[in-house]
Amino acid sequence: MSHAPLVIRIATIADCPTILDFIEQLAAYEKLSHEVVATCSALEKTLFGEKPSAEVLIAEYATQPVGFALYFTNYSTFLAKPGIYLEDLFVQPEMRGKGFGKQLLASLAKIAVERDCGRLEWSVLDWNQPAIDFYRSLGAVPMDGWTVNRLTGDALQNVAHHAD
C-alpha cells in the first residue's frame, strides 16, 4: 500500500471554515462544545486581519485537511527570548496514530528554532492521558508546580475597571 503524502502548510484566510470545524471537533473531544462561540468571520479578523493574534498550520493527507496547530508568540523574560505557545493541536480521531500530530509538532518546533525562540509550550487537560503520553514520548516535560490561571467574562471586566 502506497502512502499518500502528508503536507504541513501555513493556513490562509480561505482555511477559516476548516479551522472552525477543527476547533469544534476539538471542543467536542474535550467535552467543551458549549464554550465555543468562534465564527468564521471572527477567525478571519483575528487570524488574518491587520494585526493577527495567532498563526495556524494545517496538516493535509491526500489533499484533505486532517488536523491543525494554532499557535502564537509569547515571551520569556528569564531567557530574553520569544517563545511559541501552542494553543490547539488536533488531528481527526480516525487519522490518529499515523504520525500527523508528531509532524505538526515537529513543524512547529522548526519554526521556533528558525525564529530563535527559547521554548515551545502548551497545556494539556489532566485527563487526556493519550496526549500526555504522546508529549512525554517526544521529550516534553510537564511543568509541575505551575497552575494556569484565567480571567474571563465578568471577572475580567471587574479587574479591568481597577485600571481606571
User: Whats the size of the chain, residue-wise?
Assistant: 164
Share of the chain above pLDDT 90, in %: 91
Condensed to tens digits (0 to 9), the pLDDT of residues 30-86 reads 999 999 999 999 999 999 999 999 999 999 999 999 999 999 999 999 999 999 999
**pLDDT value of residue 161:** 94
**pLDDT value of residue 5:** 86
Condensed to tens digits (0 to 9), the pLDDT of residues 38-51 reads 999 999 999 999 99
**pLDDT value of residue 38:** 97
**pLDDT value of residue 164:** 80
- Whether the per-residue pLDDT at 2 is higher than 60: the answer is no
Please name which of 67, 41, 40 lies closest in space to residue 56, comparing C-alpha atoms: 67
**pLDDT value of residue 4:** 67
- Whether the per-residue pLDDT at 3 is higher than 80: the answer is no
Going along the chain from its start, the domains and CATH numbers come out as 6-161 (3.40.630.30)
* Residue-by-residue DSSP string for the chain: -PPPPEEEEE--GGGHHHHHHHHHHHHHHTT-GGG----HHHHHHHHHSSS-S-EEEEEEETTEEEEEEEEEEEEETTTTEEEEEEEEEEE-GGGTTSSHHHHHHHHHHHHHHHTT-S-EEE---TT-HHHHHHHHHTT----TT-------HHHHHHHHHTT-
Q: Average of pLDDT values for 95-106?
A: 94
**pLDDT value of residue 114:** 98
For the question of whether the overall pTM of this predicted structure is more than 0.85, the answer is yes
Cα–Cα dist 115/111, whole Å: 6
Give the other-Cβ count within 10 Å of 135's Cβ. 18
